[in-house]
Amino acid sequence: MILYGSSISPFVRKVLAFAAEKGIALDNQRVGIADPNPDFRAASPFGKMPALADGDYQLSDSSAIIHYLEAKHPAPALIPADPELRGKTIWFEEFADTILFACGARIFFNRVVAPRFLGRPGDEAVALAAERDELPPILDYLEAVAPSGDGYLVGDALTLADIAVASPFANLAHMGLGADSERHPKTRAYVERILARPSFAPLIAGEAAMLEKIPT
């Protein structure tokens, strides 16, 4: 199975980590923003990453791809069958893909993507406003729900909720941002633990090495 996209995208990273946790081998073919690669464009009608090709079968959108992988490789289950646990898992994925992603993207786009990938200045006022006004209440929410010790967000095992919520924090970490140990200690410890898993750690190390090579 081919997964198109760069793991610097939280959506691509979420799918790669999800597949790794399931032991599914994905051939990650890197494509960039607005990439003209015809195979990628055929799998992603609107040019967004990630996109999947499984033989002749093509699919875009990280959540659609994740549900496809979960149905195709049910074990280990990362989307619980129990109605209450499943509902919460999907809530956390949605929270991560919309509220958390949108805030992180305003910072990451303007401080990293625009200047370093697109060769134009970002809007620091937008980034600063997101960091100052949007991020703290998101972290306050997570601090109220984050598990302590070795726990997980939903139930007593790793689920899609943990993978989805942790993923955008890697982008924040690339900018030296995230939960701090004074105000959000549970969130900080929890996110660090999830991102240190073998499903995430090599991706993030590769992204950091790639970012280091791109001049600021």
Ligand X SMILES: N[C@@H](CCC(=O)N[C@@H](CS)C(=O)NCC(=O)O)C(=O)O
- In angstroms, give the least distance from the CB of 106 to ligand X: 12
Looking at the Cβ atoms of 64 and 189, the one nearer to ligand X is 64
Sign of torsion, CA 174 93 78 42?
Answer: negative
Looking at the Cβ atoms of 50 and 122, the one nearer to ligand X is 50
- In angstroms, give the least distance from the CB of 101 to ligand X: 8
- In angstroms, give the least distance from the CB of 49 to ligand X: 4
Binding site residues, ligand X, CB under 6 A: 9, 11, 33-34, 47-50, 61-63, 97
Dihedral, 109, 78, 86, 3 alpha carbons, nearest 10: 40
Looking at the Cβ atoms of 31 and 138, the one nearer to ligand X is 31
Looking at the Cβ atoms of 65 and 139, the one nearer to ligand X is 65
Give me the helices (H) in 51-184, please: 62-72, 83-95, 101-108, 124-129, 135-145, 160-174
2 sits in which H/E element: strand 2-4
Is-contact 139 172, C-beta < 8 A? no
- In angstroms, give the least distance from the CB of 144 to ligand X: 25
